[in-house]
A = this chain, B = another copy of it.
Amino acid sequence: MTSRTATNPSTDAVALRAELRDLYDDYGADLDGGRLDVWPDYFTRDAEYHVIARESFEQGLTHATILCQGLAMIRDRATAIRDLAVHQPRTLRHFISGVRVQSVGERVEAGANFLITEALYDDEPHLLMVGEYLDELVCEAGVWKFARRVAVYDNYRIRTSLVMPV
């Protein structure tokens, strides 16, 4: 449990959670909209971005499906995907739920559940990926940024076609 146990929950904690809910929703909407040019703006210069299977994550393995260390790698990935994905006949859609704040300090630790649907041009939408964000955020010039975002997915395996960030 997060802020719930406090008998007089701080207005700031409630406000922070609301701000992060907006941030998480913006992040998902930008990816859904294919706006990969703004995706790196969600990260700090030294940010780490991982997409990793739960099994690997829980065993402490470093075998991540996507592993970016630093903003340069994140930008490279965005560029590479944009070139690949332009004519991709599929639609992804993020559903974010359960935004939560684990701890507040120099870095805010927060998280949320994600569910991503995929619709191909000739098939019905299906669950592409389900999992949990485990994040560390810092506030830079009034804007929340991810210093570390780890997307741990519950799927046993993911399609090799996964190129879009999560």
Interface residues of A (CB under 8 A from B): 1-9, 14, 17-19, 22-23, 25-26, 28-30, 32, 35, 38, 41, 54-55, 91, 93-100, 111, 113, 115, 117, 119-127, 129-132, 141-143, 154-157
Q: Is the interface of A mostly helix, strand, loop or mixed?
A: mixed
How far is A23 from B99 in the complex, measured between Cα atoms in Å?
11
Knowing A1-B41, A8-B142, A141-B7, the reply to whether A122 touches B156 (Cβ < 8 A) is yes
Knowing A30-B1, A143-B7, the reply to whether A125 touches B96 (Cβ < 8 A) is no
Q: Contact check: which of B7, B125, B155 meets A154 at CB < 8 Å?
A: B125
Question: What are 5 pairs between A and B in contact, CB < 8 Å?
Answer: A3-B22, A7-B143, A54-B91, A93-B115, A127-B127
Say whether B125 contacts A1, CB under 8 Å: no
Residues in B with CB closer than 8 Å to A127 are 117, 124-127
